[in-house]
Amino acid sequence: MSQPAETEQAPLLAGRRHARYHDEDIDIPAPRRPGERQEAQQGTFSRNLGTLEAFGIVISIVIGSGVFTSSGAIDSNVPSPGLALVIWLVGGILAWTGAMTMAELGTAIPGEGGVQPYLQHIYGDVAGFLAAWTWIVAVMPATLSILGIVFVESIYSAFGITGEGDKIVHKLLSVLVVALITVANSISTKASTRLNNFFVVTKFVTIGAVVAAGLAVVTMHIARPHKLGFGGRDWFEKPWFGYRDTVTPDGDRIEWHKVSPWDMLGYLSGALYAALWAYSGWDKAIYVSSELREPARQLPLAINTALPTIILCFITANAAYYTLLPWSEISQTDSVAVTAITRLLGQAFGFVAAGLICLVVAGSLLGNSFVAGRMAVAAANKNWLPRAFSLTGQLGLGTSSQATLTTDSDDSSPDAESPKSDAPINALLLATILSIVYILLGDFRSLLTFNGLGEYTFFFLTVVGAIVLRFREPDLQRPYKPLIVVPAVFALVSGFVVVRGAVFAPIPAAVLLGLWVIGYAFYWFRMRYIRRER
């Protein structure tokens, strides 16, 4: 049966004037319709990854510094250790439902750039731009800033120094760390990926060491229950779900039995933000969809095996922290793993733990800096940013047109000439400068909230859009289609997190809103300039 000529659906919120939806400036590959073969699409990267590689990539991206650092932020926002572990579980399930929904969109709507092509397809060009803008000027620089702060905090903790995050020396050292990682990423893509492979191993070694230490303390207690001097004793002397007063890093004491239900929701949303930071990177699973040989099968399989594994790792590691330390100490540090190992085994082992965690953080910094640069390149290739940010291998405006990102090509023989560097140096420099600003003006926990608000606003819009597409485009080919309750749960919880976060953290919310206003104005002037040049 013949189809009507006009089968394209206009994006949500788009009116009659949405003539540029498939304009040459804003090029979105058309989603597949029923009956179309799933062809391998031409993109930046070749399709050479399998399920095992995808599983490893998701694991390496998600397991970063959060499991070693977010425990203090969570503990200071919950009335009991048991509830803290519940928050870790809820955060993991939320990340899992979000990743499954992204897998649905990633296998139905082709395109690179994270959530940007989905938002562009669902809501229109401005939404797609604002998503890219938010990641480039807010989410990724804030992520790099947090990681730089945590790197220095881990070293300080090995020497028993805490509470120095607001000092200028600490901030300058954090700036130096981010700058050095930028230099490493500026060498070449191949050098970055080889260095990242080394960092992946340290993640599992460090988590394994923390869990083993916790099990050792439990075993020693069972063998010699009256022996003192190893680990904390709160884990077997106090109820895990009983309320206890909490002392925050600012010195304030929270008496949980006096906290109102409304304020309790505010605290719990803050705890959930910290957990979501630890799980951040789950959305990056969709970045590998363009590199999978069979994305419709391999992407969901990788997600549905990697996320449960990560949740188990995070919960067991945090249970170990509560076994190794007195509960009153966990809320006082942003480097709980180093503090726990130092207390249990002494400062020498604390230095070893700090070194391992620094390697983990460096790996996360390297990977996130790598992604941040390429996101700016993708936006510049769409004319959303100046063309200088699409250049590779050189600093400045460049003198001639240049291919942007290339990876596997027919010219990849050993004898083929290649540029000295294929790194997007201008884009990396942009991310670094913004990160330095955030380090100097912010702190670890406010940046966590800022990062969460930026990410989850667009995650919420994306998942709501996925639900809308179920009804607006029911015939859209969806090789992977979870039950509608999956995106519905994510939409409800992420919407709550965004609203409550904005209410209880008005300053980061106001900064983010200001960046959106600036971004919209930039987009309007940018598009007007491009049309005038033509």
Between CA 149 and CA 143 the distance in angstroms is 10
**32 confidence band (pLDDT: 50, 70, 90):** very low
Between CA 116 and CA 29 the distance in angstroms is 13
pLDDT tens track for 231-262: 667 888 889 998 888 877 667 788 898 888 88
Contact between 381 and 148 under an 8 Å Cβ cutoff? The reply is no
**Sequence-ordered list of residues with C-beta below 8 angstroms from that of 526, at least 6 positions apart, any chain:** 383, 384, 385
- DSSP annotation string for 424-484: -HHHHHHHHHHHHHHHHH--HHHHHHHHHHHHHHHHHHHHHHHHHHHHH-TTS--SS---T
Between CA 452 and CA 497 the distance in angstroms is 9
Contact between 213 and 324 under an 8 Å Cβ cutoff? The reply is yes
The pLDDT, as a whole number, for residue 153 is 81
Contact between 215 and 402 under an 8 Å Cβ cutoff? The reply is no
Q: What is the mean pLDDT of residues 333-352?
A: 78
Burial of 427: CB neighbours in 10 Å, binned 0-12, 13-18, 19+: buried
pLDDT tens track for 287-337: 656 556 776 777 788 888 888 989 999 999 999 999 988 888 888 776 787
The pLDDT, as a whole number, for residue 523 is 93
Between CA 271 and CA 267 the distance in angstroms is 6
If DSSP codes are grouped into helix, strand and coil, which group holds residue 254? Answer: strand
Alpha helices (H) in 282-346, listed in sequence order: 295-324, 327-330, 336-345
* pLDDT over threshold 70, residue 85: yes
Q: Tell whether the torsion through CA atoms of 206, 212, 216 and 218 is positive or negative.
A: positive
Helix (H) or strand (E) holding 247: strand 246-247
Between CA 252 and CA 250 the distance in angstroms is 6
Can you read off the two tokens belonging to residue 182? Answer: 């930028």
The pLDDT, as a whole number, for residue 331 is 81
Largest CA distance in the chain: 81
The domain over range 46-398+420-533 is classified in CATH as 1.20.1740.10: yes
pLDDT tens track for 191-225: 555 665 666 677 778 888 889 888 888 888 887 77
Query: What's the mean per-residue pLDDT of the chain?
Result: 77
